[in-house]
Amino acid sequence: MARVSYKEEKLLRKHKLSFLFNDLEQDVLDNYCKKYNINNKSKFMREAIVKAILKQLDKDYPSLFPEFEEQNQPVYEQGTLAF
């Protein structure tokens, strides 16, 4: 099977990251994925991590009008990030 060529080199994933779960964490993840029909765990975890980062960066960003920012918080939903 041939590799798909990327239009932009920036989008090519070339940095590998791995981590370990204990038995309880793995069971929770498996049950969650089964309940919500998540077939691609890598995509799910990648989106969850980036979502948490973007949410924190939005929270930390300085604002000229704090009352406006409180009313208009951005919403990040699963599947809306381009990964």
Check residue 82 and give its pLDDT.
44
Mind listing the pLDDT tens digit for each residue in 27-55?
999 999 999 999 999 999 999 999 999 98
Q: What is the mean pLDDT of residues 59-77?
A: 69
Average pLDDT of the chain is 81
Distance (Å, rounded) from C-alpha 47 to C-alpha 78? 7
Closest CA to 51 of 33, 78, 28: 78
22-32 tens-digit pLDDT: 999 999 999 99
Supply 39's token pair. 């077939």
Does the CA dihedral 56-58-62-66 come out positive or negative? negative
